[in-house]
Structure 1
Amino acid sequence: MRNVVSRYKNKGLAKMVCAAAFSYRRKDFNDHFGKLRQVNGACVKYLEDIGNAKWTRTYFPGNRYNLLTSNVAEQLNNALRKARPSPIIELFMFIQRMLTRWFSARRKKSAKHRGVVTPEVEAVMQTHIKLTKDSKISNITSRSYQVKGVFGHNNTVSLEKKVQCTCQVFQHLKIPFGHALLAADSIGLRHGQLFGDCYKTQSWRDTYSGAIYPEAPLGDQDTSTAIESLALQPPKTRRPSGHPKENQIPSTGEIQVTKHRFLLPFFTSFQN
């Protein structure tokens, strides 16, 4: 969205791109993309050149779940900001101590949780239930159902082996939408059985079951002969003049950049 705003100076256009990116069904994506094509053909070409699989939920070939941003990497960069100017060994020790704290805190939190899925996913499930409130369900087969929403939209749910729904939410998120939850209620199937294993509390606990120990005093651990005989030389690079930069270069659209006349060619080539 920031790239679209930066290139085409139209916030309304970015919202249309976002609606297309988050669409679950191909039909919904095509509808949003068609409107976008009518508004700005240049933006459509820019997105098509990128490739729909790289920025849309419905065309992504793998399991992307609910993640369509790089926020995880940006948050990690922010956590390492204070240690970035440090020598490499100090940076590694900082990361080691930080991960030790993180793993310990998350191990305690997951051990206390008693739900089948994680608390955040439980909140998503409650939202999905509210969105399909007062929907009517009718039986097709013993494990297939038609769910009719309050606005007349129909969706078909199948609970054979794994959840399949024409709304495509589960197929992309691995979290059942309200249609599948209603179908499960009709046959007494527990909601926890419908979720992907990655959202289960046990998977959460297993993720942080390992311990990251603080650094040991030098010489307390045996070192293999292969490592002892290894000669590591510093890279042949020239250190740039001036004080090292502590802040990372912001992404397009994160801040307002004043484009002075003599800097314009540099910023133009950088954005391209």
Structure 2
Amino acid sequence: MNLDHGSGTSTADRHPPTFKSDAPHSARIYDYWLGGKDNFAVDREVGEAMIAAIPGMRYMAGENRKFVHRVVRHLAGAGVRQFLDIGTGIPTEPNLHQVAQQVNPQTRVVYVDNDPLVLVHARALMLSTDQGRCEYLAADLRESQSILDSPVVKDTLDLTEPIGLTLIAVLMLLADTEDPWARVAELRDAAPSGSFLAITHPTADFNAAEVDAAVAAATGAGMTLVVRNRQEVARFFGDWELVEPGLVPVSAWQPDGPVDEPQAAYYWAGLARKP
């Protein structure tokens, strides 16, 4: 079964976002850090500038990815059978649905991103099990209600049953003036009791000098990159109950083994459950 199973149509499909290979994009930069090939010279240029600022940037990207695998295994093991992943990025195996469907092949996943290149690769590569389902929605977190109202989401997910909502390294792309807390609150409000919210977010709490230099490199290239402190990240969870060990450095969230330097990856990470 492939990504075209189901309606596969979104507002952004009817009015596709403009594809720009001469402007850097966060998904393609992240792909470059992970060793992927789906990026352009402008992405590599900005990616290298940020590595110059934070020499451990590739490590951080890898740790962020490992968190996704751990948290999805945790949720699938807890009985979550449907996921809404916003800010998907370019596919890197194993993808979220592959991890979840290893636990339960009937898992349903909707991936959301606003980059046309991500859309192309998602439709080609994100193959579901026959028992489960995978869909891709071209949409923007800034219009969170339109995500919830999308026929793709309504046809694929049952919002009367718990969902796993994942916002991995995406909230950094929204400025404070865009009120990302309100956008996330709309998603939380729509989720039924027993749902979970997983977030990772870059921070300057662990090394302000390196992070400030990386932000300067990104903003100098015309990108929005907002780092936030622990309190600001905690606000995204609202009154949901944080799962142990709480809001911690990304490498320290239920690690598979000992972690020598948990603050070497400059991300806060957490998982919370709706009462």
> TM tier, shorter chain?
under 0.3
TM-score by length of 2: 0.22
Higher share in strand? 2
Report the TM-score when normalising by structure 1. 0.22
Query: Whose helix proportion is higher, 1 or 2?
Result: 1
